Structures are given as C-alpha cells and as structure tokens.
Amino acid sequence: MRESSSTYASRIRRFRLPRLCIAVVGPDAPTMIERAESLVRDNPFIELRLDYLSQPLSALPKLKAFLEMHPEATFIATCRRTVNGGKFKGSVAAELAVLRKAADSGFPLVDLELQSAEALKAEDLKDLSNRVGVVLSYHNFKSTKKLDEQFGEMSKYPADFYKVVSTATNLYDNVAMMRFVEASSGKHEMVGLCMGEQGIISRVLGVRAGSIFTFGAATRGEETAPGQVLAGELRDTYRIDMVDQATQVYGVAGDPINHSLSPAMMNAAFRRETVNAVYLALHAKSLKDLLACVRDIPLRGLSITMPYKQEMVDALENSDPLTRQIGACNTVVRAADGKLYGFNTDVAGVMVPLEQRLQLAGTRVLIVGAGGVARAAAFGLKNKGAEVFLTNRTAEKGQSLARQAKVKYLKRVEVAKQAFDVIINATPVGMNGNKQSPLEEKELNTKFVFDLVYSPAETKLTKMAVAKGLQVIPGLEMFVQQGARQFEIWTGKPAPMAEMAYVVTKALERRAAEELAEQTKAPAKKAAKKSAKPAPRK
C-alpha cells in the first residue's frame, strides 16, 4: 500500500468534486486548451484526453501553463491505450511516462486502466500514486457482466477512485450497475456507469446510487465513449448536481426514444415545482426488459410511448375504467405497495385542445391511424358524442378499432368524398425527418387539422392545411396536455404548463435550426468533395 493514498483521497474529497466531469479532446495542445478554456468557467471538472493528442509528452508544458491559470478547477489526465479503447498507440511504459509528466505538470488526478496497472511493476505504480491521485479504470466495451468479480481484481491495486464502465445491452444492465455501485460505494470512492445507448440512464442513476461523478461530452461529435450525453443536458435537463439518493425517478419508455422531448419537458416541470425528481428516457427494446427494471430502479412513474401502450395494459395491477375501455395506457404509477396502476392521459391530450375550440357533441371527426393514440382519440371522442370516422393503412386493424369504439370505418378512397369538422393525424407520418403527409390535399375537406405529430412543429400536413386556409391545432398542445396530466397524477401538484410549453417550443426551434444547418452543410460538403477531386486527365 502506498503511504500517501489517503492524503490524495482526502485532498481530492476536500475539493468536493462536481458531479460532472467533461471530457475534452483535441489533436494538439492549443486546440485542447481552447476547448477547455471555453468550458472551464461553468464546468470546473475536466478530463483532458491526452491520448487524442498527436504528441502528448511535448504538449504537457503548455497544458501545465493552462492548469496554473485555473487553480479553481480539477483536471484528470487520461492517456488510454488503443487496446483499451483509447487513442494512444504507445506502450504501457510510454503511457506511464505521459501520466508521470502529467502529475509533475500539476494534474491532481490521472486515469490508469486496470490492464496498464496490471502490466506495471509494483514500484512504478507506487511511484505514480505517490505523485498524483489515481482513477483506476476498467472498461468493458461489450457487456455488463461479472462486475463484482472484475472489481475484485481492481481492488488489489490502491487507487483514489475506482471507475467501472461497462456496456449496457439492455435496460436491466443499468440496474446491475446501480446495485454494484450501491454495494461498493460505502467502502470505496466509486465511479460507475454503462456505455451505449441502452446505458444512457446509468449516467444519472449511477450518481444517484453513489457514483462520485459521471462524464459528459462538451458538444455533439466530441463524445469520448458510446452513449455519452452532452454535459449541458446532464447539467440543465437532468440537474445532475442535485441528484441524490432521495431523488425520485420517473421516465418515458419506448422504442425508439432518442427523439422524445418528454425528458426536457418533464424535468423542467419538476425543476419549476421544486420536486426532487429526475425523468429519464428509457430505451426499452422489449416490455419484458422494461418491467424487470421498473421495480428495481425503482421508478415512481412512467410515461409509455410507441410501441408499448397496448401491451402495457396487461402488465398493470390496476387501471382506471377509461384505460381499460381504451385498452391503451400511457401513464403508469408505481404505488407505495409496489403495484403498477395505469392511466391514459392521451385522452385529455386530444380532448382538451379540441374542447378549447369546439363543442364536440355532433362534431364530425376523422381519425387517421389505429394505434395507441388513435384508440384514445376514438373512445374519447365517442364518449363526448362526436360523430367519429376512422381510416388506417392496415384496414383490418382500423376496422377492428372502429368496431370496438363503435365508430365508422372509412376506406381510404372514401375519405376525399366526405366532409369533416376535424381531421386528426394519429400516425407517425410527418415525424422527425419523415417529410410525408398521411393525407393528400384533396382529402382535407375539414375546418380543423389536428396533427398529433409534435416534432417537427410544422409538418407537410400542417403546411398543406395552412395553405388551404384551414385551422391547425399543433401536436405540441396534445404533448403538453398529456404531460401535464401525468405530472399531476404523479405529484398531486398543478402542472406548470406555460413552462412546459416554453421548453418544448424552444427545443423544437433548436432542433429545426440544427436540421437546417445540417441541410446547408450537406451540399457544401458535396461541393467541396467534388472540387477536391483531381481533374480528369485529358
């Protein structure tokens, strides 16, 4: 054992490390310094990935000068070798030389991979840990398996922090990581998280379980590990600095889930109403995987989205009569007795915006689609006395729903021959990058078009409706209404709807701007590529 490990540990603990460490990469010292400089004021905990530098050793004098200018911040030096998933092509001895020099340049912490520690002589390891605080890391880029066994190997080596990073291949792997961190964090200073898209939630839940800190990326494209979340998102949306063991966990589950704006909206609502809760996006590839996690995470409440709204009903211990009637559930409460209770707030999501504009009894409404949301709309509108019509790509599915909800099924060819007061798009057509419309212009014989797609804010369908002089109800209204009801069911507090609508509107604007920037970049890239091609020989 090295004598000074406790000195470093206590010194580092006294720093009261922020929860969020931002990984900074760059090909040379000036670029890395420029990136770190732009971040350090708001993020005083930075990992400099020396393995991304073409000349790590010769870059260190410049980095030393930068560190001296920022005594308020904590820096980790990492020089991960390619065999361990990093970019450094040198030997273990060369890695050690870089880390030693980093220590002498003022880095208070260095990251050392377990494999490198195993290859080093005991005296070299001792020498390193006498110079600097050590984060001993273990990465598994394939799975989350045998964490305890692996940690048994790690704990043979003294370190100030033990960092265990695995890859989640399903949601339950996050539970395994949380349990591991919970069990080890009483005895050691632990950092634990899962990589991969399925492991995103572990970046928040790991901290809740006792991980001293987690990692975030500075910008998109600068991720240093698969599934790394943007630091700004961890800080502003998930309020990582506030997460503790008392933080209640909620989430939205579906497949796909990465485009959902529910985390932005619901976390903003929790923040506004000062509820100690965090709301995560759960990428559930199967309902079975999701249900295995619900109790173990433990989740207080869940929003259910495509494609699980109907399947979820069978997994509930109880539900309100409306949810049973509709046969689709978008809201789950895990009660104090551990049982799962289901609700359907999509109905309010569709009804409230319509009732704000129309008297629903006797109103002629066409629903396009026969999935979970179409079910909510069909039963909800029928209950209000509307004259409801339904059409769907797969006729049998549409006919079956029409029979159950006692509404009229229309073949697609019949749609253009009818006139409606409202047409509701309850399909994903028009959503996120899909530039299609579920109906043609000639089929829009209606006063209102309610496009339930909320991302993007404007779709081909809504543009067509506006051009035709029809009134448009944006999907955003449903999104906020259904979310507001969920918030109320979970917390018993009135939902901060204005805040929720504001956050989603801003997020949609940002998304549209990013998409536009991408579109303008694409032809420029193409042109650059073309002009870079050598001229054909004559």
Choices 29-37, 198-206, 389-397, 441-449 (CB under 6 A): range interacting with ligand NAP: 389-397
Contact call for residues 313 and 332 (beta carbons, < 8 A): no
Choices 94-102, 126-134, 269-277, 364-372 (CB under 6 A): range interacting with ligand NAP: 364-372
Phi and psi (nearest 5°) for 417?
-85, -10
Q: Which of 388, 453, 457, 464 binds ligand NAP (CB under 6 A)?
A: 453
List C-alpha distances in Å: 7 to 60, 130, 185, 254.
25, 9, 19, 47
Nearer to ligand NAP, 47 or 477 (CB): 477
373 binds ligand NAP (CB under 6 A): yes
Nearest approach in angstroms of CB 306 to ligand NAP is: 4
301 binds ligand NAP (CB under 6 A): no
Element (H, E) at 73: none
Q: Which residues does the annotation mark as catalytic? A: 309
Query: How do 318-319 and 340-343 pair as beta strands?
Result: parallel
Nearer to ligand NAP, 178 or 457 (CB): 457
The span from the CA of 41 to the CA of 37, in Å, is: 8
List C-alpha distances in Å: 209 to 183, 192, 295, 481.
9, 9, 15, 32
Element (H, E) at 280: strand 277-283
List C-alpha distances in Å: 172 to 127, 259, 286, 295.
40, 21, 11, 11
Q: Which of 87, 357, 364, 397 binds ligand NAP (CB under 6 A)?
A: 397
- Sign for the CA dihedral angle at 324, 325, 327, 328 comes to negative
Nearer to ligand NAP, 24 or 452 (CB): 452
392 binds ligand NAP (CB under 6 A): yes
Nearest approach in angstroms of CB 427 to ligand NAP is: 3
Nearest approach in angstroms of CB 358 to ligand NAP is: 18
Residues 340 to 359: which contact ligand NAP by CB under 6 A? 349
482 binds ligand NAP (CB under 6 A): yes
Choices 48-56, 174-182, 424-432, 460-468 (CB under 6 A): range interacting with ligand NAP: 424-432
Contacts of 166 (CB under 8 A, 6+ apart): 139, 140, 143, 144, 145, 147, 173, 177, 194, 195, 199
- Total residues binding ligand NAP (CB under 6 A): 27
96 binds ligand NAP (CB under 6 A): no
307 binds ligand NAP (CB under 6 A): yes
135 binds ligand NAP (CB under 6 A): no
Helices and strands counted in the chain (H then E)? 20, 20
Query: Nearest residue to ligand NAP, using CB?
Result: 371
The span from the CA of 216 to the CA of 228, in Å, is: 6
393 binds ligand NAP (CB under 6 A): yes
DSSP characters for 479-500? Answer: HHHHHHHHHHHHHSS---HHHH
Q: Which of 465, 478, 503, 504 binds ligand NAP (CB under 6 A)?
A: 478
Please work out, in degrees rounded to the nearest 5, the angle formed at the alpha carbon of residue 90 by the alpha carbons of 216 and 151. Answer: 55
306 binds ligand NAP (CB under 6 A): yes
The span from the CA of 229 to the CA of 193, in Å, is: 12
450 binds ligand NAP (CB under 6 A): no
Nearer to ligand NAP, 227 or 251 (CB): 251
309 binds ligand NAP (CB under 6 A): yes
DSSP characters for 147-158? Answer: HHHHHHHHTTS-
Contact call for residues 62 and 54 (beta carbons, < 8 A): no
Q: Which of 454, 459, 487, 504 binds ligand NAP (CB under 6 A)?
A: 454
x/- track of binding to ligand NAP for residues 16-35 (CB under 6 A): --------------------
The span from the CA of 349 to the CA of 94, in Å, is: 60
Nearer to ligand NAP, 101 or 309 (CB): 309
Q: Which of 181, 354, 429, 495 binds ligand NAP (CB under 6 A)?
A: 429
Element (H, E) at 368: strand 364-368
Q: What strands, in cross-sheet order, belong to the sheet with 364-368?
A: 408-409, 387-391, 364-368, 422-425, 448-451, 471-473
Nearer to ligand NAP, 405 or 453 (CB): 453
Choices 195-203, 448-456, 486-494, 508-516 (CB under 6 A): range interacting with ligand NAP: 448-456
380 binds ligand NAP (CB under 6 A): no
Q: Which of 217, 282, 366, 452 binds ligand NAP (CB under 6 A)?
A: 452
Name the DSSP class of 90. Answer: S
Interface with ligand NAP (CB under 6 A) = 306-307, 309, 349, 369-374, 392-394, 397, 426-429, 431, 438, 452-454, 475, 478-479, 482
